[in-house]
């Protein structure tokens, strides 16, 4: 910070002073009858001083400030991602939140680091204006007023442009997000294969074309305002270019300005002051731009987080959890329909239960309430006899192992993917790989994102690898939301039995294939967010209800196959 201040406020203006007065110093020595060698050495000294000061500034910028800016941007960007993890999950269902999130992630880090640099550039511009202004004012203030008057138009135009720029970029955020969505699809191997084989690309390209047209319309809308900015800038610059030499020449001819040396200094100082003032207007607009962006992204940082802020509650105890849903209801924001309706159930410590039902029955919503990604709209979710809201949310989740149908593998090593919840020695990790039927090196990279020799796993193998995260760790609760759906029925049953048999942990398994849950201690059948049947597999089959109907239909499908 101190280095930036010294470089911007002292080195650069001082270099400008020596450059502006070089010609006058040489001419006045010659006019005074000094030897040419002395005049030459004086000019060379001024030149070298200006060069040295500019080089010192360049060295600081090139060898320190630029790489320091990377650190600053990295720190800010990391803080944005950390903030995103501290925002309540419900906000991710809100498109307007994604607009503010996109604006924040794409602009705020770079704008913040640029803001600091722009601020020092602004201070440097002020210092240069003072130096050049003093040189001009020493011969009278009229010329100074001419330059200041013309440059004021430029400064106003540039600040006006910064406001227009922020308005335009903000207006385009939603359309830009649509275009970015299509770009992301073309980085997804599965999506690309689907795009090639189907006609889904037609509506997707239509979505993209619509976003392009909308952005073009926004540019047209703001075109007149930007054209006005260009007019003001050009008029001011042409006015300065014409008025300054005419006024100085008149001053020399009338005797109000003395000597050709002073003439040279005034011309050089006036042009330099004009450029400094123009730059001052530009840097002012950039600082204003940064402030405007900061105001726009404030919504992201001000997003309330009642759930994620629950860090001073009770710590979850060791051992298997007991779980209770007491007349729980929940509906997603903006929806009139309840995903969970007046649902009550109890799970004893160490009990293995299954949640089954058709799509949209509320199965996944129930697991999200267990993770406290959402808070219930009615009733209470209890862990070990206490409302879930009483717990420190981070330590509570640390005691819950999760495997979703779409569990994500990351472009890291196999070892790092396996130790997402807890560390383990290599022998234990290799044993887990063998248990799920995978032959992978712990050091192998997953995906080819950063390594051309990376392992590309099938959907089933990817799910197997995700499940190993649960096999070497101790949890109070396991939540398995169709984590092996990509496997064949026999392999899926074996994986489910492996988890049920080996772990004393309380387990909640959400399943579509009913054959995987026949060994569960209790099965709950959901429909429209309600429990309509419950019992063991044998008890439910004996009831001749919906569960039996679903099980037999699935079994019939396997027999026909």
What is the average pLDDT across 482-497? 74
- Determine contact, residues 522/536, Cβ cutoff 8 Å: yes
DSSP string for 234-292: HHHHHHHHHHHHHHHHHHHHHTSS-HHHHHHHHHHHHHHHHHHHHHHHHHHHHHHHHHH
**537 has pLDDT over 90:** yes
- What is the reported pLDDT for 51? 86
**477 has pLDDT over 90:** yes
What is the average pLDDT across 215-240? 76
- What is the reported pLDDT for 234? 72
User: pLDDT tens digits, residue range 384-398?
Assistant: 999 999 999 889 998
- Determine contact, residues 74/260, Cβ cutoff 8 Å: no
**553 has pLDDT over 80:** yes
pLDDT bucket at 126, cuts 50 / 70 / 90 = confident
What is the spatial order of strands in the sheet that 378-383 belongs to?
340-347, 323-330, 378-383, 386-387
pLDDT bucket at 143, cuts 50 / 70 / 90 = low
What is the average pLDDT across 460-485? 85
Please state, in angstroms and rounded to a whole number, the distance separating the CA atoms of residues 134 and 24.
Answer: 15
**Residues ≥6 apart with Cβ < 8 Å to 310:** 389, 391, 392, 393
Domains located in the chain, CATH noted: 2-301 (1.20.1560.10), 323-560 (3.40.50.300)
Q: Select the more confidently predicted residue: 244 or 507.
A: 507
Overall residue count recorded for the chain in this entry: 561
**245 has pLDDT over 70:** no
- What is the reported pLDDT for 548? 94
- Determine contact, residues 18/52, Cβ cutoff 8 Å: no
What is the average pLDDT across 264-275? 69
Please state, in angstroms and rounded to a whole number, the distance separating the CA atoms of residues 462 and 338.
Answer: 33
**193 has pLDDT over 60:** no
Please state, in angstroms and rounded to a whole number, the distance separating the CA atoms of residues 28 and 7.
Answer: 30
- Determine contact, residues 495/332, Cβ cutoff 8 Å: no
**102 has pLDDT over 80:** no
Q: Select the more confidently predicted residue: 351 or 124.
A: 351
Q: Select the more confidently predicted residue: 338 or 335.
A: 338
- Determine contact, residues 513/486, Cβ cutoff 8 Å: no
- What is the reported pLDDT for 550? 92
Query: Chain-wide mean pLDDT for the chain?
Result: 80
pLDDT bucket at 44, cuts 50 / 70 / 90 = confident
Check residue 63 and report its DSSP letter.
I
Helix (H, G, I), strand (E, B) or coil at 507: strand
- Which runs of consecutive H residues, i.e. helices, occur in 314-458? 363-370, 393-398, 414-418, 426-435
- Determine contact, residues 134/126, Cβ cutoff 8 Å: no
Q: Select the more confidently predicted residue: 487 or 415.
A: 415
Strands (E), 331-388: 340-347, 352-357, 378-383, 386-387
pLDDT bucket at 527, cuts 50 / 70 / 90 = very high
Q: What is the pTM of this model?
A: 0.67
């Amino acid at each position: 910070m101190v280095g930036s201040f010294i470089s911007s406020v002292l080195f650069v203006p001082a270099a400008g002073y020596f450059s502006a007065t070089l010609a006058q110093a040489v001419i006045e020595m010659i006019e005074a009858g000094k030897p040419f060698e002395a005049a030459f050495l004086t000019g060379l000294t001024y030149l070298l001083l200006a060069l040295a000061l500019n080089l010192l500034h360049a060295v600081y910028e090139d060898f320190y400030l630029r790489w320091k800016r990377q650190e600053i941007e990295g720190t800010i960007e990391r803080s944005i991602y950390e903030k995103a993890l501290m925002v309540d999950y419900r906000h991710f269902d809100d498109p307007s939140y994604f607009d503010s999130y996109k604006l924040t992630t794409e602009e705020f880090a770079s704008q913040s680091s640029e803001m600091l640099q722009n601020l020092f550039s602004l201070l440097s511009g002020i210092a240069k204006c003072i130096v050049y202004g003093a040189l001009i004012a020493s011969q009278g203030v009229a010329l100074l007023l001419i330059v200041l008057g013309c440059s004021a138009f430029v400064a106003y135009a540039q600040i006006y442009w910064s406001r227009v720029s922020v308005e335009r970029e903000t207006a385009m955020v939603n359309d830009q997000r649509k275009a970015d969505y299509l770009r992301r699809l073309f980085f997804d191997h599965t999506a690309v294969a689907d795009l090639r084989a189907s006609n889904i690309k037609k509506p997707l390209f239509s979505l993209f074309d619509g976003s392009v047209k909308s952005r073009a319309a926004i540019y047209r809308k703001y075109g007149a305002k930007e054209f006005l900015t260009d007019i003001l800038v050009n008029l001011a610059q042409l006015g300065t270019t014409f008025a300054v030499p005419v006024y100085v020449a008149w001053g020399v001819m009338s005797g109000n300005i003395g000597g050709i040396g002073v003439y040279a200094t005034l011309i050089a100082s006036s042009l330099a002051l004009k450029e400094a003032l123009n730059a001052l207007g530009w840097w002012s607009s950039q600082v204003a731009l940064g402030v405007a962006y900061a105001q726009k992204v404030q919504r992201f940082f001000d997003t309330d987080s009642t759930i994620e802020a629950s860090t001073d509650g009770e710590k979850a105890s060791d051992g298997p959890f007991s779980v209770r849903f007491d007349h729980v209801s929940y509906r997603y924001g903006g929806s009139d329909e309840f995903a969970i309706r007046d649902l009550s159930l109890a799970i004893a410590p160490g009990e293995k239960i299954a949640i089954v039902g058709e799509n949209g029955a509320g199965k996944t919503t129930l697991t999200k309430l267990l993770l406290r990604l959402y808070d219930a709209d009615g009733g209470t979710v209890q862990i070990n006899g206490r409302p879930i809201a009483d717990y420190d949310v981070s330590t509570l989740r640390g005691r819950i192992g999760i495997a979703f149908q779409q569990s994500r593998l990351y472009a890291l090593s196999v070892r790092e993917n396996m130790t997402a919840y807890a560390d383990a020695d290599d022998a234990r990790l290799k044993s887990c790989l063998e248990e799920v039927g995978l032959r992978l090196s712990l050091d192998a990279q997953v995906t080819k994102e950063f390594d051309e020799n990376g392992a590309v796993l099938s959907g089933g193998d990817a799910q197997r690898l995700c499940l190993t995260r649960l096999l070497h760790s101790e949890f109070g609760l396991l939540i398995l939301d169709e984590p092996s759906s990509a496997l064949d029925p026999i392999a899926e049953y074996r994986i489910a039995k492996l988890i049920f048999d080996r772990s004393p942990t309380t387990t909640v398994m959400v399943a579509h294939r009913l054959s995987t849950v026949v060994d569960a201690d209790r099965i709950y059948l959901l429909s429209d967010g309600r429990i309509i049947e419950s019992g063991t597999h044998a008890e439910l089959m004996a009831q001749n209800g919906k569960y039996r109907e679903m099980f037999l239909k699935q079994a019939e499908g396997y027999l026909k196959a």
